[in-house]
Amino acid sequence: MEKSTQPWRKLLYTPQPYPDNYTDVSFLSQLKRNSTVKRYTFRKLISDFSLVSLHLNTLALTHIFFLGLYSYDTRIDVPLTVSTTISVVLLLFYNSSDNSSRVVIQDALKSSLVISFTIFTLSPVLKSLSESTSSDSIWSLSFGLVVANLITTDYHFNLKDKFNPIVSTNVLIAEATVLASRFNSDAKVFAFMLFCIQIHGIFPIFDTWLREFHVPIHHLMTLATGSIATFCIYKMMEFPWLLIWCILHSTILVFCPIYFILLQKYKNELQGPWDIAKPILNGTD
Amino acid sequence: MARSRRSSLRLQPSLSTSSLIEMSQRECLTKPLIEYEDILPNMMMNESSLKLTDLLARESDVTVSNQISSLIEYRGFAWHLLVTAIHTLWLLWTFLPENWLHYIGVHYYPSRWWSLAVSNYILILFLYSYIALQFWNVEVEAIPRDDLRAICDGDQVVEKDIVKYGWKDTNGVFDLRISDVNEVLYD
Amino acid sequence: MEGSYKRERAKACRTKANRLTLPFADWRTNTSSIHRILCVYVNHSSVVVVNVITYNKVVELVDTRVLRLEANGSVSLNCRETDVSIVGYFGDAPAKNGSQHWKEFFLDDKGLIACRDSMIVSFEPPLPRSMQLYTASPIELYLSQSLNEKTSPYVDMVRTHGHKRAFTPQDLHFTQSVETLNRCWIKRTLLLTQIPQMQQTWLDDSICRQLRQKISQIPYMIFRIMAKMLKPLSITYLYTLIAARHISLWLIYIMNMKMPSNLPRLIDISATAQQIDLRLQQFSYLPIQYLHTSRQMESHKTKLLPKDQFAEYIRLYNTLWLVINDVTLGYVVSSFLNENKNQIVNVFDKYVVSKVLYSDLNSILMWLMDAPGGIKLNNELSAFLSDFFRWIIEFWKMALIDRLRPNYSTVIRIISVSSLFGATFGIAVFSDMLSILTFHIYYFYLASAKIYHGQLSAIRSLFRLFCGQKKNVLRHRVDSNDYTLDQQLLGTLIFTVLSFLLPTVLIFYLTFTITAVVILLITGLLEMTMSLLNHFPLFILLSRVKDYKRVPGGVACSSLNGYIHLRIKPIALTDMFAPFRNVLQKLQESYLSAPVITGLLVGRPVYVQRNKFYKLLK
């Protein structure tokens, strides 16, 4: 028997009585498998993916408003007053709950006034911006910008991360400008721009705050926006678009979580002492 | 007990966590333990799973990779879905018969010839990259044999006066001008 | 180790020093009964044979007082010049003692004259009267201009390592030897004046040369006669010259004066001012140049013309000749203009002013107003810009052209009168008139360039805002930054608006750039003609054609009849035209290089830089 009483040691510099291709029992005993893998529940996934759905809903609301103004020549006062009152109410709500943010509120008021006056002044310029361009190029430009927005949005899945909505907001404002240049009256331009900014600028900040402190209201908002968007699509557009919309939402909210959890069984993360050690800096990790 | 505890403490590396000391105490009760085998070759362990090094390695998080946040996983998932969707669309576009496409309602789509062309082009591009890289390295990046860059370096510290160091031992810092060296050696 | 290295190099120089130079003479047809002594001029250990004395017996030379006997029995030349002495003999030695330091010349087996431990080099003696001279390095025709070359790390490395020692002892020795050659004719004539009994053994002293010398003395004699006649007037002449010089210096100062508050100097704006400045500078510098060269020329009996004086001489006569040419051409141009005044006025009015500058420009601007070439522009902005520029053109026509129209003949007369001073003046006045007529186009270009550039920088900065970044001026890099909602909104709105308005501004900018470039081309052509007339190296070209030995650009060695023969290499053509090459290179840098083209794309305006080229050519 080749095995002697001397145990096999994991050293190269000493001659050992074992052959070169000897595999010891302790081989890979320090292997760790899937130690960092997160456990996902349906609840977590659905609540996370509902953020995507919320974003899609807000986008849909914006574009429905545009469609109404452009093709159906709806009156601007109803949606505009609704959205303005809601945003003012939200601001007051936000203010009353959080006393330390008085300065923030004043800043928000000032900036909202600045915003309103700017849009008011620039409406004639925006109106004639792309007069000579054909509609098709505007639609394609707008589509590209929406795709860019979907890619760059910060859905803020993890509340501890820093919220960075700058690029997506800018893209969306650019898209709103581009679409607004199709209108033929100043009032429509003003209304549309203001609506867009309220929904995409003020609402995400409010939504983040909601998710932190009043989670059920956040879910309520998601459902509310979803239902309003679906209702408007049903009213304004043909059946295939509604079908596509419902399929999209069900995919996001139902199919994707199931698929995600099914894919978890393929996770096979290996760690061991052969990996690079991660230095612990500042005493905390 | 105290003696064995002291001896076990002597054998261990100086770690500060208390659990290790407890573990070593626990082990010591039954069998004498070895930390590094070449210190005490007489005391041996047969069961490798009880080796302390093993336990230490298994308990520590030093080599664990970064905690993966859910954003990264969702992003990867979204990419996976997108790429699968594009792949499916590509395959459908390539393989579906024309009347099926008309039945769906798609009448205006790029010619199917492009599916073959793009695939082949990418493949040949991969193969050509081997050749192109070789050509680039040989023709463009290689300097001629009599080029000054093959002899000298731009980062040299040049001593302009050859008399100072030319006839002494090699200076570790300064280099002499190659034209002066040629003059001394060959003129 | 290094001491022995130095010693070795010094020894090498000394052994190469024993080199004799001979005038070309064929000695193979001599008989053994004739002996020869070589008289030489020695300078810095290089030896030039000045004359050869043939004799049968030494005694007859002593008797005819060519040689004299020394105390120790040796012979030496009977002259006062200590530079000239006897170096050697051919045949028998003339004196027994004292000839030990003389070299012996003999015919070697190839039939060539040879000497032990010396090398014989043949050459043609340069005639100082015809201003021939040998130089080791080419004469410097122009004041050296240092162009700042681009440095790259590789160029720096080559410059550090490839450095050659500037002037080795061998180079110094060679230069001195070559300069010795130049003095040989003078030494010879000195020797002959002091010892007239010596034969002249140089065969090339033919009659033709003497005749040529006599002929070339004729204008010189006429000039001297005239100078003698005008001598009483010379003092008044001198005073008027000095006064005129002072006035011209004052005018130069005015033109080159730096204006306050960064306005351009007069010389930078106007071609006429530049031309006047050049002429005045030439005029004020002429007397000095003349004094320099003429003094040297007169004293050619004792001293030779040094190299830089030679260049001065060339420059002086070149300037004079070019000025005379200029005035002649100007007279021709002036008479042409006077004869065809009416036709020129008609053509100018009908084609240039009314059509090209006015109606064509108007129609281009109207075309830009709605969809030029199918490009869709922002209608409001293009209409606004187009109307604005057209209004300015109307105003220009009203203010300038309508007032000028009845006075075209006066303008032509001004040009023809200024041509009398020189064709360059005529061209300069014409160029200035052209720039005055088209200055509105140039300012259109500048204005549209500024708008375009401003818009591009705004778009660049707002794009950074679009991506959530900001330029960190302190660290010269771009960092990410948190913007508030109103900043984002304003920035994005303005960014979109500017982006949509960019094509319109770009089209206008391109139009004006093209017109400005065309005008720049025409002005440049005129300037080129002027600089050709002012600075063409006519004198040196013709000197080269007439007698290439007057323009030495170094020496070349070849073999002639078995001896090493030194001959003068004339200056290369590229060296003669060196300032023009510099100007072309500078032109290319200013107008055609990569930074300028990217500047055009970005909106940096191209300025006319007259003075830079003018400086190079002086």
A149: left (phi over 0), alpha (psi -120 to 50) or beta: alpha
* Segment A113-136, tens digit of pLDDT: 888 888 888 888 888 888 888 889
Q: What is the ipTM for the molecules in this complex?
A: 0.85
C85 alpha-carbon distance from chain centroid: 42
Q: CB–CB of C468 and A197 under 8 A?
A: no
B2: left (phi over 0), alpha (psi -120 to 50) or beta: alpha
A249 contacts A53 by C-beta, under 8 angstroms: yes
**C452 has pLDDT over 50:** yes
* Bridge pairing between strands C103-107 and C84-90: parallel
Give the three-class secondary structure for C256: coil
| Short-list C396, C84, C34, C398, CA closest to C201 | C34
Select, from the ranges A21-35, A238-252, B32-46, the one with the highest average predicted confidence (pLDDT). Answer: A238-252
The pLDDT score that the predictor gives to residue C111 is 67
Residues B90 and B128 in one domain: no
The pLDDT score that the predictor gives to residue A255 is 93
Please indicate, yes or no, if residue C7 is contained in any of the structural domains.
Answer: no
DSSP codes joined into one string, C33-48: T-EEEEEEEEETTEEE
**A225 has pLDDT over 80:** yes
C140 contacts C311 by C-beta, under 8 angstroms: yes
Does C492 touch chain A if contact means CB atoms closer than 8 Å? yes
Residue in C485, C488, C495 to test binding to A, most A beta-carbons within 10 Å: C485
Please indicate, yes or no, if residue A229 is contained in any of the structural domains.
Answer: yes
Residue C145 CB burial class (10 angstroms; 0-12, 13-18, ≥19): middle
**Structure-token pair, residue C213:** 């010398």
Which of B154, B160, B184 has the CB atom closest to C157's CB atom?
Answer: B154
Least confident of A231-235, B65-69, C26-30: C26-30
Give the three-class secondary structure for C584: helix
Alpha-carbon distance C605 to C446, whole Å?
A: 6
Which of C376, C467, C488 has the CB atom closest to A133's CB atom?
Answer: C376
Percentage of residues of chain B with pLDDT beyond 90: 34
Least confident of A142-146, A205-209, C196-200: C196-200
A166-170 average pLDDT score = 91
Least confident of B51-65, C296-310, C333-347: C296-310
**A87 has pLDDT over 90:** no
Identity of the residue numbered C412:
I
Please indicate, yes or no, if residue C171 is contained in any of the structural domains.
Answer: yes
Q: CB–CB of A275 and B65 under 8 A?
A: yes
Residues of chain A with Cβ-Cβ distance to B40 below 8 Å are none
Which of B49, B62, B77 has the CB atom closest to A278's CB atom?
Answer: B62
Q: CB–CB of A271 and B57 under 8 A?
A: no
| Short-list B79, C502, C465, C461, CA closest to A171 | C465
* pLDDT: which is higher, C375 or C615: C375
Q: CB–CB of C154 and B152 under 8 A?
A: no
End-to-end CA distance of chain B: 87
**A35 has pLDDT over 90:** no
Neighbours of chain B (3+ CB pairs under 8 A): A, C
Q: How confident is the model at residue C6 (pLDDT cuts 50, 70, 90)?
A: very low
The pLDDT score that the predictor gives to residue B42 is 42
Residues of chain B with Cβ-Cβ distance to A45 below 8 Å are none
Residue in B33, B37, B86 to test binding to A, most A beta-carbons within 10 Å: B37
Alpha-carbon distance C555 to A247, whole Å?
A: 95
Least confident of A269-273, B13-17, C227-231: B13-17
Q: How confident is the model at residue C55 (pLDDT cuts 50, 70, 90)?
A: low
Least confident of B88-102, C224-238, C381-395, C463-477: C224-238
Q: Domain range holding B38?
A: 2-59
Catalogue the E-assigned strands of chain A: 32-33, 270-271
- For residue C89, list its beta bridge partners: C37, C104
Q: CB–CB of B177 and C161 under 8 A?
A: yes
Q: Domain range holding C110?
A: 17-194
Q: How confident is the model at residue B31 (pLDDT cuts 50, 70, 90)?
A: very low
Please indicate, yes or no, if residue C268 is contained in any of the structural domains.
Answer: no
**C590 has pLDDT over 70:** yes
Please indicate, yes or no, if residue C64 is contained in any of the structural domains.
Answer: yes
Please indicate, yes or no, if residue C236 is contained in any of the structural domains.
Answer: no
Select, from the ranges A3-12, C74-83, C84-93, C562-571, the one with the highest average predicted confidence (pLDDT). Answer: C562-571
Please indicate, yes or no, if residue C384 is contained in any of the structural domains.
Answer: no
* pLDDT: which is higher, C376 or A100: C376
Which of B38, B61, B77 has the CB atom closest to A260's CB atom?
Answer: B77
C457-482 average pLDDT score = 88
Give the three-class secondary structure for B158: strand
Residues of chain A with Cβ-Cβ distance to C377 below 8 Å are 132
The pLDDT score that the predictor gives to residue B16 is 42
Does C378 touch chain A if contact means CB atoms closer than 8 Å? yes
Number of domains in chain A: 1
| Short-list A134, A204, A146, A132, CA closest to A175 | A146
Residues of chain C with Cβ-Cβ distance to A129 below 8 Å are 378, 496-497, 500-501
Q: CB–CB of A161 and B51 under 8 A?
A: no
Residues B152 and B183 in one domain: yes
**A147 has pLDDT over 70:** yes
Q: Domain range holding A249?
A: 49-254
A172 contacts A142 by C-beta, under 8 angstroms: no
| Short-list B108, A128, A202, A35, CA closest to C379 | A128
Residues B39 and B78 in one domain: no
Percentage of residues of chain C with pLDDT beyond 70: 69
Least confident of A144-158, A162-176, C114-128, C202-216: C202-216
* Segment C529-546, tens digit of pLDDT: 888 888 888 888 888 888
**B25 has pLDDT over 80:** no
Alpha-carbon distance A254 to A45, whole Å?
A: 10
C444 contacts C518 by C-beta, under 8 angstroms: no
Please indicate, yes or no, if residue A279 is contained in any of the structural domains.
Answer: no
A50-60 average pLDDT score = 94
CA angle, residues C592, C596, C598, in degrees to nearest 5 = 120
Question: Residues C166-171: contacts with CB within 8 Å, 24+ apart?
Answer: C169/C9, C169/C10, C169/C13, C170/C12, C170/C13, C170/C16, C171/C136
Residues of chain C with Cβ-Cβ distance to B158 below 8 Å are 160-161
Alpha-carbon distance C79 to C194, whole Å?
A: 6
A230-251 average pLDDT score = 91
Select, from the ranges A209-218, C85-94, C165-174, C367-376, the one with the highest average predicted confidence (pLDDT). Answer: A209-218
The pLDDT score that the predictor gives to residue B132 is 97
**Structure-token pair, residue C473:** 């001026």
Residues B97 and B136 in one domain: no
* Bridge pairing between strands C67-69 and C75-77: antiparallel
Q: How confident is the model at residue C496 (pLDDT cuts 50, 70, 90)?
A: very high
Determine the distance in angstroms separating the CA of A223 from the nearest CA of chain C, rounded to an integer: 26
Helices (H), C299-422: 307-339, 341-347, 361-369, 379-396, 402-404, 408-421
The pLDDT score that the predictor gives to residue C18 is 42
The pLDDT score that the predictor gives to residue C606 is 73
The pLDDT score that the predictor gives to residue B52 is 62
* Segment B105-140, tens digit of pLDDT: 888 999 999 999 999 999 999 999 999 999 999 999
C338 contacts C319 by C-beta, under 8 angstroms: no
Please indicate, yes or no, if residue A123 is contained in any of the structural domains.
Answer: yes
Please indicate, yes or no, if residue A164 is contained in any of the structural domains.
Answer: yes
Q: How confident is the model at residue C51 (pLDDT cuts 50, 70, 90)?
A: low
Phi then psi for residue C414, to 5 deg, are: -60, -45
* Segment C71-126, tens digit of pLDDT: 666 667 666 666 677 766 776 666 655 555 666 777 777 766 777 766 777 777 77
The pLDDT score that the predictor gives to residue C210 is 59
Please indicate, yes or no, if residue C94 is contained in any of the structural domains.
Answer: yes
Determine the distance in angstroms separating the CA of B82 from the nearest CA of chain C, rounded to an integer: 24
C617 alpha-carbon distance from chain centroid: 7
Please indicate, yes or no, if residue A186 is contained in any of the structural domains.
Answer: yes
* Mean of pLDDT over chain C: 75
The pLDDT score that the predictor gives to residue B13 is 41
Residues of chain A with Cβ-Cβ distance to C371 below 8 Å are 132
Q: CB–CB of C496 and A178 under 8 A?
A: yes
C173 contacts C17 by C-beta, under 8 angstroms: yes
Residues of chain B with Cβ-Cβ distance to A161 below 8 Å are 69, 71
Which of B62, B68, B74 has the CB atom closest to A277's CB atom?
Answer: B62
Phi then psi for residue C74, to 5 deg, are: -90, 170
Please indicate, yes or no, if residue A35 is contained in any of the structural domains.
Answer: no
Q: CB–CB of C162 and B179 under 8 A?
A: yes
**Structure-token pair, residue C45:** 């250990």
Residues of chain B with Cβ-Cβ distance to C164 below 8 Å are 179
- Residue C233: which H helix or E strand, with range? none
Q: CB–CB of A256 and B81 under 8 A?
A: yes
The pLDDT score that the predictor gives to residue B28 is 45
Residues of chain B with Cβ-Cβ distance to C166 below 8 Å are none
**C15 has pLDDT over 60:** no
Residues of chain C with Cβ-Cβ distance to B153 below 8 Å are 157
Please indicate, yes or no, if residue A19 is contained in any of the structural domains.
Answer: no
Number of domains in chain C: 1
The pLDDT score that the predictor gives to residue C91 is 67
Q: CB–CB of C493 and A177 under 8 A?
A: yes
Residues B7 and B50 in one domain: yes
Interface B:C, Cβ pairs < 8 A: 32
Neighbours of chain A (3+ CB pairs under 8 A): B, C
**A58 has pLDDT over 90:** yes
* Segment C196-251, tens digit of pLDDT: 666 554 434 444 555 666 666 777 777 778 777 766 677 777 788 888 888 888 88
- HSE-CB of C525 using CA atoms within 13 angstroms: 7
**B80 has pLDDT over 90:** yes
Number of domains in chain B: 4
The pLDDT score that the predictor gives to residue C528 is 83
Q: How confident is the model at residue C9 (pLDDT cuts 50, 70, 90)?
A: very low
* Segment C397-448, tens digit of pLDDT: 888 888 888 888 888 888 888 888 888 888 989 888 888 888 888 888 889 9
Determine the distance in angstroms separating the CA of B113 from the nearest CA of chain C, rounded to an integer: 33
Residues of chain B with Cβ-Cβ distance to A36 below 8 Å are 64-68
The pLDDT score that the predictor gives to residue A20 is 84
A209-229 average pLDDT score = 90
